[in-house]
Amino acid sequence: MTESLPEQIRSGILASPGDFLHMVAGVLDERADLFVLVDKSHPLTRDFEPEDLVSLKAYSLSLFWGDVPIRKAIIPAVVELARAAKKSGITLVFSSGYRSFEYQKQVYAREVKNYGQEMADLESARPGASQHQLGTAIDFGSITDAFAQTPAGKWLAAHAWEYGFSLSYPRGFEKITGYRYESWHFRYITKAGTLLQRTYFGDIQQYMLKFLNENRASLESRRQRSPRRSLYNWARKNTRPNRKSMPAPPISMILCRSESLSS
Ligand SMILES: [Zn+2]
- The Cα 131–Cα 217 span in angstroms is 22
Length of the chain: 263
Residues 108-137: pLDDT tens digits?
999 999 999 998 988 889 999 999 999 999
Nearest one of 85, 204, 201 to 153, comparing CA atoms: 85
Ligand 1 centre and the CA of 259: distance in Å?
Answer: 39
At residue 221, the pLDDT reads 87
Domain boundaries, the chain: 1-30+215-263, 32-188
pLDDT value for 240: 46
d(CA 80, CA 76): 6
- Could you tell me the sign of the dihedral formed by the alpha carbons of 70, 73, 76, 77, in that order? negative
Q: How confident is the model at residue 160 (pLDDT cuts 50, 70, 90)?
A: very high
Q: What spacing in Å lies between the alpha carbon of 168 and ligand 1's midpoint?
A: 9
The rounded Å distance from CA 141 to ligand 1 centre is 11
Give CATH for domain 32-188. 3.30.1380.10
Ligand 1 center from residue 124 Cα (angstroms): 9
Instruction: Judge whether 97 and 53 are in contact, CB under 8 Å.
Output: no
| Cα of 80 from ligand 1 centre, angstroms | 20
63, with CB counted inside 10 A (0-12, 13-18, 19+), is: middle
Confidence of residue 228 (pLDDT cuts 50, 70, 90): very low
Query: How close is the Cα of 107 to the center of ligand 1, in Å?
Result: 12
Q: How far is the CA of 131 from the centre of ligand 1 (A)?
A: 7
